[in-house]
Amino acid sequence: MSAAREALLKGRTIPQIQRLLESGELTSVGLLTYYLERIQRYDVDKLNAVLELNPDALEIARALDRERADNAVRSPMHGIPVLLKDNIATGDQLHTAAGAAAMLAWDPERDAFLVTQLRKAGAVILGKANLSEWANYMDSCMPNGFSANGGQTQNPYGAFETYGSSSGSAVAVAADLTTVSVGSETQGSMILPAGINSVVALKTSRGLVSGDYIIPLLPWQDVPGPMGRSVTDVAVLLGAMTGVDPNDPDAGRSANLAGRDFTLSLGSKRQKPLRVGIPVWNDESIEAWFDKQGISDKKQHAAFRKVFEELNRSLRSTGEIISSAGLTVVEVPGSALPQQQDVAPALEFGFKDAINSFLENLGDAVPVASLQEIIAFNNKELKNRAPYGQNHLQSSQNTVLTAEEYAAIQEHNQQAARSAIDQLLSKFNIDVIVSDVSQSYAPAGYPALTVPAGYAADGKPQGIVFVGGYLAEPLLLAAGYAYEQATRLRKAPNLEATMKLIHAMDDSPP
């Protein structure tokens, strides 16, 4: 790769890239070539973020360059490469397998609705991103970021976790292997890997982006969302992903945001500043938390109080930054944060029911027709197909939960989470709150945004998470953008150092 090309393109945002494309200094083919060269240099048998490349990508980029030459630019996504998580179906030469060997033979006959929207906007589908197999519902011993098809994804910042399940989507963006990517989340699957890989991710409100033709985990919590190196890029990508899908039962609730230019929410002057809730753990809140957790041991109290003291210092510092960005900070007692909703019992029944239904609809297009057949397929070659085991799949197959019990858990978790968040926002008159309790916003179907928030002493990336009410994406993007611009904490990873680390790990004895 030429030094000039790298200097021109490394870490560029979508608006910066579009200016280069408009000036003629860059073509979509040139942009795509830049990423392909970086993937070859840093990813193949190294970071393992990109599971598969689209063999049609260069031809698509050429066609989009011709459209640009004819003054037929479709949108701000015109000519921009996008990497898709490997559970999002594409009706092209790419596989869609959720990282699983059992699904490799599936050849989807059409695109997922969100992919259709991206193609209409002029995006270039670069390929598929690696993920934690079956959206991290394979086995409790399986590392985050591992799949039978894609191997082990590595964190570009060093010997840190990747989290999951949208591991490859986050790592590829962080390492500048793509401009942006699409991930999906059931509970923490976008927010956690984005934070640990120092990128921006938006877990969307249920129904804002269609979940059509995405291999399911827990349908009433599964949502796709955008990832990027900046809040602006996430806002641009989100606008291209949305649209009213007539086959999505939740689409009608979000129709007023479909196709919106979400960048209009960034840096715009408001009549009243955004009000951001910051949790504060005073003695009363801490005691209330002990009661809720059933912790009565005084030694444990002392240990936890030290944790809360450090947490308070961090949150106060965050509050000062947010205030300096022109937002209004409202202190909220930590005990007022929504209670976590346990999703584990629902997952066993929900995954079995969802994947069996999904496979049944595919008919003869796949060699497995049920979860039971997936397990049997893996058992024939466990070393390669399920090297860490498949206890989640087996427990799901053997679930004793009934459909009625499952429906009751779903109803309780959704209503409890929604009520708790709605009441919190209303009681303290806040627009968004700083919180990372995925067990509350996820079952509620509410959005969350994470933005890079610096690095620990050992270089481990950290993120700040903003949570809002239903369809509060414009508010979250505004808050995240203000924080991002006030701090500018994100740094690109030192990939050469990480390559040496990965090489050393490969050479170490087993």
Active site positions, annotated: 85, 165, 189
- 32 token code pair: 């795509």
Q: What single-letter DSSP state applies at residue 47?
A: I
Query: What is the rounded CA–CA span in Å between residue 355 and residue 134?
Result: 10
Query: What is the rounded CA–CA span in Å between residue 181 and residue 393?
Result: 27
User: Do 372 and 397 contact (CB within 8 A), yes or no?
Assistant: yes
Which has the closest alpha carbon to 51: 181, 140, 197, 221? Answer: 181
Helix (H) or strand (E) holding 243: none
Which has the closest alpha carbon to 115: 81, 84, 73, 94? Answer: 84
User: Do 86 and 128 contact (CB within 8 A), yes or no?
Assistant: yes
Task: State the virtual CA torsion across 405, 411, 412, 414 in degrees, nearest 10.
Answer: 140
Query: What is the rounded CA–CA span in Å between residue 462 and residue 464?
Result: 7
Give the number of other Cβ atoms within 10 Å of residue 127's Cβ: 28
Which has the closest alpha carbon to 83: 14, 148, 170, 200? Answer: 170
Residue that is written with structure tokens 């969307």 in the block: 204
Residue that is written with structure tokens 């087996």 in the block: 394
Residue 107 CB burial class (10 angstroms; 0-12, 13-18, ≥19): middle
Query: What is the rounded CA–CA span in Å between residue 20 and residue 26?
Result: 5
- 302 token code pair: 């002392």
- What residues have CB less than 8 Å from 121, skipping those under 6 apart? 74, 75, 77, 78, 240
Helix (H) or strand (E) holding 463: strand 461-468
Query: What is the rounded CA–CA span in Å between residue 158 and residue 189?
Result: 20
Q: Are strands 151-152 and 328-333 parallel, antiparallel or unpaired?
A: unpaired
Region of 4 (left: φ > 0; alpha: ψ -120 to 50; beta: rest) is alpha
